[in-house]
Structure 1
Amino acid sequence: MTTLINILLNTLAKEYSTPEKTVKNILSLFEEGATVPFIARYRKEVTGAMTDETLREFHGRWLYLVELEKRRIAIVELLKELPDIPASVFSAVEKASSKTELEDIYAPFKKTRKTKADSAIELGLLPFSIALWRDGVALAQQHYEQTKASFKQPLSLAEAKAGASDIIVEKLSQNIHTLQQGKLFLQKEGVLVSKVMRGKKEVGEKFRDYFDYREALKKCPPHRLLALFRGKKESILKLAIESGEALPYPLNNTVNTIPLGFPELKERTPSKEKLAWLEKAWLEKIQPKLESDLLAELKELAEAGAIEVFQNNLKDLLMAAPAGAKRTLALDPGFRNGVKWAAVDEYGQLLDYGVVYPHPPQNKANETQAKLTQAIQVHNIEWLVIGNGTASRETQTLVEDMIQQRSLNCRCVIVSEAGASVYSASPVAIEEFPELDVTIRGAISIARRFQDPLAELVKIDPQAIGVGQYQHDVKANRLGDALSVVVEDCVNAVGVDLNLASVSLLTYVSGLTQRMAQNIVEFREQVGGFSSRMQLKKVKGIGEKAFEQCAGFLRIRGGSEPLDASAVHPESYSVIKGLARSIDLELNALVGNPEGIARLKTAPAAAEQGQYTFQDILQELAKPGRDPRPEFQYASFDEAVNKIEDLQEGMSLEGVVTNVAAFGAFVDLGVHQDGLIHISQLADRFVKDPRDEVRIGEVVKVQVIEVDVQRKRIALKRLK
């Protein structure tokens, strides 16, 4: 086992161009229970400053390699129990570099049912089939006479030839070389074909683009694959992989190098019989198996692509610019059921709430403006934020008129309300506001999301936020795991205010469980707030290891220790204070002091510190607790454009990117229907990845190039 571990360590070291000792040290940190955010931020000297993404990939690759070797050993043992397995099979197993390749090699030997070849072998026809393969059908009568005495029951020559043919065809279909060559051929030359199922044209109208569709397998992008697989899942489409040849040329050319457990032949031109057997094996066994395998692999690839899109979009959304500690009044608009509103203070605490009815059928606009004006003045509201759902533009017009006519000292903006309704009915929302109606909870969520998207969105299941691409076609557990990783990385990259954070937010902090997070909030309420990070050790369930993992990501502003407001880990406090003394400065005088920090860089004691850790310390001293998120910005929607019917080709508008897919970006123009900037319209040059050009939450200028009101489709071009 030790030898095996060393081999795997060496493999990982080569793949990541990292010294084997470093690989060992990183894996030791994982084994000790260290989290990815902690290792990435506070153990850079060990990792060589690997990013969190690379560390996750690194750890995942290690686990994969261990599983690969375990499966390799298991397959070798299983093959040893079977008769007549050629040495070439064992050689292929030893050389396999992936689990997929291993399973492909082993698949033909996993017997799920008895085949015709099995029956023929039981009848004693194996020697006869070997002779036929070696000498050809011309000598069949002679070999029949020589071997028929070993048959378990009387068989005619025709019956013997049929049984021998079954054996040869199965041996060919089990051959590793044949399977590998066939798979490579289909991957290179195969065409993915989609046809509509009989009688499904009407119910499958949304898939009409794929009713008679063909595309080279190697060119089909992940988002199109997922659309095709969704059609297949809904029994609208039938998928197949066509090669266009009865027998692929690679197999034709290599038939005589195929070891079957039979004698190998070196003839230049394969006999017609051999080619006929090989063609039969290809059409009846090899191609159907490879088609099934490749379709499964394509689905896996497409799912991975969809998950990556969702991860990227979720990260952009979570890391969107916060408006900050602003007193906010949020409106969740509607017509018949009214506009729900909620006012929150700069910390997101509820101040007031209600429902107004400015729109038809009630039309109580004056009453609405009077109530909202009163709330704005009483609570010193700085921002009015409107959810971008039904009646949002009508509500915006009414609010902006109110601000202007009544000379109110606040501003108005429309924001995304995606996920607010999910939060409002969630257990978290019920626990926070058990007495409130779900619609009011939704308005509170909109207000808090405006103040700090990350702190509010962590309360919602990431899969419900709606920034993915065909996410409903992806395995839920796989998607959930991938998205949890994104949330964890974002939360720890930003840091968490220990005295304000919710249980939901604390749960994602490195080293903390939900129970620990709950205990932190309860302790905070008991003592009236934390004044020092060291108090965390008094919280039930948080021992030395948990403290080590979480402390650096938790902030305390205005506490007894200035460094508690920064990302500096407590383990480095004594080092920093010693450095400060070495240049005759108190710590308070060093924080935010450019001159002092410059002196610190050249202090003799600085040379004793690790390069990466010291650089991080200097950055934190310069800007303690800096927020890595961008500055807040918002779009100004055209007042003359309120619905899709108002759009005209050639219009130039401002909008907000709401979603980014592999084929382009969706933009909210304030008409209740997002427009699409196709990837070809994102720039005046080739764009490989839309995220290289735009991100969720970004304000963009666009031109309308096509409007299809009936199909609710808006085509846009990005303007610089």
Structure 2
Amino acid sequence: MLPTIEQRLASELAVESRQVIATINLLDDGATVPFIARYRKEVTGGLNDCQLRLLAERLHYLRDLDKRRASIIIAIEKQNKMTPSLLNALMHAENKIHLEDLYLPYRTKRRTKAQIAQEAGLQPLAEKLLCNPMLQPEKVAISFLKEPFTTDQGNNPGIKDSKEALDGARQILMENFSEDAVLLQLLREYIFLHGIITSKVIEKKKAIGIKFSDYFNYSESVRSIPSHRILALFRGRREKILTLSIHLDSETRKPEWDTPHNPCELLIAKQLGIKNHNRPADQWLSETIRFTWRTKILPHLETDLMNALRERAEDEAVNIFARNLKALLLASPAGPHVTIGLDPGLRTGVKIVIVDATGKIIETAVIYPHPPRNDWDDSLSILKKLVEKHRVTLAAIGNGTASRETDRLIKDLIKQYPELKLTSVIVSEAGASVYSASQLASLEMPDIDVSLRGAASIARRLQDPLAELVKIDPKSIGIGQYQHDIDQNKLARSLDAVVEDCVNAVGVDVNTASSALLKRVSGLGSKVAQNIVTHRDAEGMFVSRTALLKVPHLGEKTFEQAAGFLRIMNGNNPLDSTAVHPESYPLVNKILVSLKSDIQTLMGNIHLLKSLSPSHYIDKKYGVPTISDILKELEKPGRDPRPAFINTIFKAGVEELTDLHPNMILDGVVTNVAAFGVFVDIGVHQDGLVHISALADTFVKDPSTIVEVGQVVKVKILAIDLKRKRITLTMRLTDTALSNH
């Protein structure tokens, strides 16, 4: 019997069944992954968030598999075709592909040539020739002639001569062979190891498909082709520029009909016990094998493999997107500073929004320092007055059109008026325009013109990237590869999980957070998040976590899931500002009693806390993992896991592509990590590419092991293509430039 779902998951994750069973019970009871990972370590045996995410994903797959298995068994039983061996095979099928292979002969399908041949009574002829190759095919076939007739399925043309009889018998055998689950699996495994995927350009599409020119005549091994090339090939096929096919590595060109059997045809013959000893029916059977491979099995497996390749590429693309998103969301926050956000523009001007330390808009303006108006001095004067008036300490400049010109404006301001003590930062504005026109932005900033909302978002991104970026659909941030080519539901599920994990890892100030941020907290959805904001607006700030229970639809269960991730700063209970869950407050009180101390003395007292032994406080409710987490949290209460803020300063005088030259070494910021390399912003409006081969002196299999989004790196320019606006970079600073401009 196939192991249970719990046993299979335990084996896959290399953990104990009891851990899996406990986790499944928690998930089924509505617990979230962040809650389980942080506050139920004793129950799960310490499974981390990555293990829990994988377990939840595989649990969903295996439950779907079992549902499909049950429906297939019912369907076959209704046909009265179930046998003990078939049932055993179905019960032991470990994946959906194998399950569907077994179901293939019983699947309802359109009337096939094999079925028409069976209706005409040719099944015995097929069986005779297969079992006894000593028979003369033409002589045996002559006794199976039949006049046309009609069946419940429709008209049947009958059998007018021996050739038609043999063709019909071949169709029967071909269908039987191509629906043999064991044979299909053997062939699938072989072609995966020895298959070559090939792309050809459609001749009439060469001119319009020039961006796919690398793939006009391209071949690569099925098992080793990287995800980005798979997705590129599929995009070329979808846009009807390329045709794709799969063939064996032993076949350098399309084989002739009378060439010796290829390895897969030999595998079919071996599996079915067919051998060519020059007996009367051997040649006919040999050709039947070739027909089966070329017209039935290869097309079927080609479709299967193409789907498998696409799924593999999608999974990797989703993982890359998820890693990039996590790095971006957990980027360093500049913190609660009064900030001026500038959304650069030329003709439309530079949009300005000033936000206070909490992100609240306090003033807006528009200046026109750039062509065609060139009001540089007036713009400087306006900026000076705004910065002085609101005591602004940070300037966040969007990295779009006119960003370097606007950066130069702010640097001019800083140079002329050093007493302002202003610091300028270039901020990615990807997705800001999408957010500006969104319903959420309208609700948050109903009195602010849509053209100014982007500047507000840019300022807030600098203060706290996580709190602002959660308002934007992750797919609009531009940090993936071929994101529109992959399963959007799969991508959305993965990105939602990343956002949830990041938000809960950092924690949320319940008195300042937007509903967009609150809804990502464990256990809270959109409705409860909005209810929290509405209650806060009506009743004032929350002074304790327990006060959240007064929010409509926020019951005990929701409170249990969410409370540990919500922070009440300067509230009635100092523990409410930490990651210590309210359910563990009695434990903290127990520790305080044993120490004859108070919470204010204990919090932050690293020396005292490190001297405590978690095992000393174990009881039926609290184990070492929970106690250790609490003591660690009390050492640095409410600590932010994100790194300290570091400002990146681009090289002065490098603002356009024409300012670059080969061998120039620059600082840059990683904006995207793909399977084939890394994109780096060096301050010239056009990101450069560091190919995977130029990331390090040693072989790099995965770029994410070297860098992450937001990281500051030093790069050297190898080449600049002004016409195509491409910059080739290397992180191996000893490399030499490829060419001149």
Q: Settle same-fold status: TM greater than 0.5.
A: yes
CA–CA distance in structure 2, aligned partners of residues 163 and 719 of structure 1: 66
Distance 1:150 1:205, change over 3 A: closer
8 Å contact from structure 2 (residues 265, 290) kept in 1: no
Please list the CA deviations of residues 651-686 of structure 1 after superposition, one character each: whole Å capped at 9, or x if unmatched: 010111111111111111110000011111111111
- In the alignment, what sits opposite 1:285? 296
- In the alignment, what sits opposite 1:100? 97
Distance 1:366 1:256, change over 3 A: closer
From 486, 497, 501, the counterpart of 2:513: 501
- In the alignment, what sits opposite 1:700? 713
Q: Give the 5 Å matches for 1:187-586.
A: 187-243=192-248, 244-245=250-251, 247-253=261-267, 255-258=269-272, 271-407=282-418, 408-586=420-598
8 Å contact from structure 2 (residues 120, 159) kept in 1: no
8 Å contact from structure 1 (residues 583, 600) kept in 2: no
Task: Compute the displacement of 1:106 (Å).
Answer: 2.3
Distance 1:581 1:337, change over 3 A: same
Partner SS, residue 442 of structure 1: helix
CA–CA distance in structure 2, aligned partners of residues 41 and 602 of structure 1: 17
Distance 1:700 1:135, change over 3 A: same
Please list the CA deviations of residues 501-534 of structure 1 after superposition, one character each: whole Å capped at 9, or x if unmatched: 0000000000111111111111112222011000
8 Å contact from structure 1 (residues 583, 599) kept in 2: no
8 Å contact from structure 2 (residues 508, 565) kept in 1: yes
Distance 1:358 1:588, change over 3 A: same
Task: Compute the displacement of 1:102 (Å).
Answer: 1.3
From 31, 35, 51, the counterpart of 1:34: 31
CA–CA distance in structure 1, aligned partners of residues 181 and 545 of structure 2: 61
Please list the CA deviations of residues 460-516 of structure 1 after superposition, one character each: whole Å capped at 9, or x if unmatched: 111111111100111222222221111111000000001100000000000111111
8 Å contact from structure 1 (residues 257, 266) kept in 2: no
CA–CA distance in structure 1, aligned partners of residues 80 and 623 of structure 2: 60
1:386 alignment partner AA: I
2:697 alignment partner AA: D
8 Å contact from structure 2 (residues 265, 293) kept in 1: no
Partner SS, residue 232 of structure 1: helix
- In the alignment, what sits opposite 2:155? none
Deviating more after overlay: 105-114 vs 187-196: 105-114
8 Å contact from structure 1 (residues 134, 265) kept in 2: no
- In the alignment, what sits opposite 1:18? 15
Please list the CA deviations of residues 176-219 of structure 1 after superposition, one character each: whole Å capped at 9, or x if unmatched: 23322222222111111111113111111111111111111111
CA–CA distance in structure 2, aligned partners of residues 678 and 297 of structure 1: 26
2:686 alignment partner AA: Q
Deviating more after overlay: 705-714 vs 107-116: 107-116
Task: Compute the displacement of 1:303 (Å).
Answer: 1.3
Task: Compute the displacement of 1:289 (Å).
Answer: 1.1
8 Å contact from structure 1 (residues 314, 467) kept in 2: yes
Asked whether 1:613 is paired with 2:626, we answer yes
Task: Compute the displacement of 1:86 (Å).
Answer: 8.3
8 Å contact from structure 2 (residues 138, 166) kept in 1: no
Task: Compute the displacement of 1:37 (Å).
Answer: 0.7
8 Å contact from structure 2 (residues 120, 146) kept in 1: no
Partner SS, residue 34 of structure 2: helix
1:51 alignment partner AA: N
2:415 alignment partner AA: Q
Q: Percent identity among equivalent residues? A: 46
Partner SS, residue 4 of structure 2: helix
CA–CA distance in structure 2, aligned partners of residues 144 and 707 of structure 1: 72
CA–CA distance in structure 1, aligned partners of residues 444 and 65 of structure 2: 47
Task: Compute the displacement of 1:159 (Å).
Answer: 2.5
Task: Compute the displacement of 1:12 (Å).
Answer: 2.2
8 Å contact from structure 1 (residues 181, 250) kept in 2: no
Task: Compute the displacement of 1:238 (Å).
Answer: 0.8
Partner SS, residue 203 of structure 2: coil
- In the alignment, what sits opposite 1:52? 49
Asked whether 1:669 is paired with 2:674, we answer no
Deviating more after overlay: 151-160 vs 554-563: 151-160
Deviating more after overlay: 352-361 vs 150-159: 150-159
TM-score by length of 2: 0.92
CA–CA distance in structure 2, aligned partners of residues 687 and 158 of structure 1: 60
Task: Compute the displacement of 1:77 (Å).
Answer: 3.3
Q: Give the 5 Å matches for 1:115-194.
A: 115-136=112-133, 138-140=135-137, 143-144=140-141, 155-194=160-199
8 Å contact from structure 1 (residues 676, 714) kept in 2: yes
CA–CA distance in structure 2, aligned partners of residues 478 and 532 of structure 1: 38
Number of matched residues? 712
CA–CA distance in structure 2, aligned partners of residues 277 and 209 of structure 1: 38
Deviating more after overlay: 266-275 vs 296-305: 266-275
Deviating more after overlay: 654-663 vs 178-187: 178-187
CA–CA distance in structure 1, aligned partners of residues 614 and 674 of structure 2: 48
Task: Compute the displacement of 1:604 (Å).
Answer: 3.5
Distance 1:487 1:602, change over 3 A: closer
Deviating more after overlay: 535-544 vs 300-309: 300-309
8 Å contact from structure 2 (residues 274, 285) kept in 1: no
CA–CA distance in structure 1, aligned partners of residues 390 and 349 of structure 2: 22
Task: Compute the displacement of 1:104 (Å).
Answer: 2.9
Deviating more after overlay: 492-501 vs 586-595: 586-595
CA–CA distance in structure 2, aligned partners of residues 385 and 661 of structure 1: 27
2:98 alignment partner AA: E
2:94 alignment partner AA: S
Partner SS, residue 219 of structure 1: coil
Task: Compute the displacement of 1:382 (Å).
Answer: 0.4
8 Å contact from structure 2 (residues 314, 486) kept in 1: yes
1:693 alignment partner AA: I
* Aligned residues: CA RMSD: 2.2
Partner SS, residue 489 of structure 1: helix
Unaligned stretches of 5+ in structure 2?
Answer: 150-157, 256-260, 734-741
Task: Compute the displacement of 1:143 (Å).
Answer: 3.5
Task: Compute the displacement of 1:73 (Å).
Answer: 2.9
Please list the CA deviations of residues 439-473 of structure 1 after superposition, one character each: whole Å capped at 9, or x if unmatched: 21000000000000000001111111111110011
Please list the CA deviations of residues 573-613 of structure 1 after superposition, one character each: whole Å capped at 9, or x if unmatched: 01111111101111221111123213432784357741110
Deviating more after overlay: 709-718 vs 498-507: 709-718
Please list the CA deviations of residues 316-346 of structure 1 after superposition, one character each: whole Å capped at 9, or x if unmatched: 1000000001111111111111111111111
- In the alignment, what sits opposite 2:258? none
1:255 alignment partner AA: A
Distance 1:105 1:634, change over 3 A: farther
Please list the CA deviations of residues 47-75 of structure 1 after superposition, one character each: whole Å capped at 9, or x if unmatched: 12212221121122122222222222322
- In the alignment, what sits opposite 1:261? none
Q: Give the 5 Å matches for 1:621-636.
A: 621-636=634-649
